[in-house]
Structure 1
Amino acid sequence: MRQLGELEAEIMHRLWAWGRPATARDVLTDINKERPLAYSTVKTVADILHRKGMLARLKDGRAWVYTPTCTRQQYTAALMQDALGENPDPAGALASFVEQISSDEAEALRSALRAVKRRNSA
């Protein structure tokens, strides 16, 4: 999975944070609180995200309503999996990663590993 471009990420982060379907106009209104952007630009990028499989869309009157097809966590996991898959030494990459994370992140990783182990044992 390819990393998102800047505007793609802005759109996805808003949709993930909102946890509800939204139109390109909804996204534009929120982005325009920080910087001016054209409706056509947001609409085009939302359509690109739909073609990439990142957004599902349903027609609501004349507008498309967009919903993420994956969670932020699933997207992040796919990026991490791609990075590991491209590395000839995934164990070394993981060791380097663990050396760089905070103690809270390390505890979150241990907790996630325990949860997966419990699910796989059931």
Structure 2
Amino acid sequence: MCTNRDDEFDMHSEAEPYCSHQVTKVNVIPEADVVKCQACVNATRSFTHGQFTTVQLGELERLHDGVEIAVETWHGPGSHWREQKIPITSDTARSLAAALIRAADIEQGLTR
């Protein structure tokens, strides 16, 4: 299910030419000049509506099939949310998840 579009918006833009489904959103410890920071994790899949060559389809899949981490920061009243998108492959996402668990275990004094 694609969560980055709605009934009125049935085509994706050049800025976001893929479908995504948000899996979770977590609060991130903000830097000193940031009021709020959060990271969203999305499953992504290239949006291939229309006709594409085999080469174009391959490039769309390479760029957009996987997982996206979107880091959003807000610097307070009068500012807008700023977003940085970090696309990674599903294999990389699994490795990152394992590394995060291991790092949390080490930080909390657990050994495995």
TM-score by length of 2: 0.28
Question: Highest Rg: 1 or 2?
Answer: 1
Q: Name which structure has the greater RCO, CA cutoff 8 Å, separation 6+.
A: 1
- Structure with greater helix percent: 1
Judging by fraction of residues, say which structure has more strand: 2
